[in-house]
Amino acid sequence: MTLYRKNMRWAKSYLLYQMCNIMKIVIYMIILVFFISCQAGDHHDYSAKQNERNPDIENENKASRTQEYIFPNGTYCATVEYHHPNTESSNCYTLDVTITHDKLVKIHWPDGERLDESHFTAEDISSGTCSFTSDKGYNYNITIIGKSCRFTESYDHPTVAEQSEIIK
Burial of 72 (0-12, 13-18, 19+ CB in 10 A): buried
1 against 4, higher pLDDT: 4
Rounded percentage of the chain residues whose pLDDT exceeds 90: 33
Burial of 76 (0-12, 13-18, 19+ CB in 10 A): buried
Residue 61: is its pLDDT beyond 50? yes
Full-model pTM: 0.51
